[in-house]
Structure 1
Amino acid sequence: MLWHELNATAGEPARKQVEDARMGVDFLISLISGHLHVVVAAAIGLAADVASRPWLAVATIVSLPPLAAVWYRLAVEATDE
Structure 2
Amino acid sequence: LTKGSAQSKLHFLAVQPGNSPDKVVVHLVPQPRIKTEIPLNFEDYPVRPRGTQGVIVTKHAVKRVERLTKKTEEQPRLI
Same fold (TM over 0.5): no
Work out which of the two has the higher radius of gyration on C-alpha atoms and give 1 or 2.
1
Answer 1 or 2: which has greater helix percent.
Answer: 1
Answer 1 or 2: which has greater strand percent.
Answer: 2
Query: What range is the shorter-chain TM-score in?
Result: under 0.3
Q: Which structure has the higher relative contact order (CA within 8 Å, separation 6+)?
A: 1
